[in-house]
Copies of this chain bind each other. A is one copy, B any other.
Amino acid sequence: MVGVFNKHFLPLVSKIKTLYSQINKNISRYVSFDQQELEIFNSLLEFKTVPKKTMLLQEGEMCNFEAFVVKGCVRKYYIDDNGFEVILQFAIENAWVSDISFSIYENKPSRVFIETLEDCEFFMFSPESKEELFSNAPQFERAFRILMQRSLAVTQDRLFNTISKTATEKYLEFLEHYPALSQRVAQHYIASYLGISAEFLSKIRTKIAKL
């Protein structure tokens, strides 16, 4: 036992506590949980470190996880009929990423790719763990329903923008909405997210810079 409490172990324990409190804060945002419920939740998570440029999910696979981003940045995208990548989501710290809508309940293979853009730390949550969580602590069902609802709101908002705004407006709104991201990811990824060509985004940027 003596060896356990060495100078390496103590900071590690402390780090893990911080990580759990990070995800617990996120899941408690709309529903409050007691200590015991959170412990059940935490015991079902798998902590995972993943280097940059790693594929978490490939088209055609089953998406058997929901990932909570503790640290890092990932993109979720699909490839359209003309072979173009279209980015559906960037997920950074404290965001969830998964292809839940298609894969898990529909039991269909995914159409999307999920790739890390930076070295990442995740909590991975499997469908089985989710079921177990819901049966042991049913309150979580509600928390995940609300998360789902928020994703829907975000997606609906994006649809709104995609249909109704010009490329310049979309870009400005992106900058306003995700100032951190515009520093962290390559321009052409942002273009792909906005649904415009990388060249045109570049032209927009020079035009904006001149004002």
- Chain A positions within 8 Å of B, measured between CB atoms, are 30, 78, 80-82, 84, 86, 88, 100-102, 105-106, 134, 138, 141-142, 144-146, 148-153, 155-156, 158-160, 162-165, 195
| Alpha-carbon gap, A134 to B138, bound state (A) | 11
Copies in the complex: 2
| Alpha-carbon gap, A195 to B164, bound state (A) | 8
Contact between A156 and B105, CB atoms less than 8 A apart? no
Other 8 A-B pairs with CB < 8 A, given A105-B146, A144-B145 = A80-B160, A80-B164, A80-B165, A88-B159, A101-B153, A141-B145, A152-B155, A155-B155
Contact between A149 and B86, CB atoms less than 8 A apart? no
Which of A88, A101, A105 has the most chain B CB atoms closer than 10 A to its own CB? A101
Q: List 15 A-B contacts (CB under 8 A).
A: A78-B160, A80-B164, A81-B164, A88-B159, A101-B150, A101-B153, A134-B142, A141-B145, A152-B152, A155-B155, A155-B156, A155-B159, A158-B159, A159-B159, A159-B162
In the assembled complex, which residues on chain B have CB atoms less than 8 Å from the CB atom of A144? Answer: 145
Contact between B80 and A156, CB atoms less than 8 A apart? no
| Alpha-carbon gap, A145 to B133, bound state (A) | 15
Contact between A153 and B86, CB atoms less than 8 A apart? no
Contact between B164 and A101, CB atoms less than 8 A apart? no
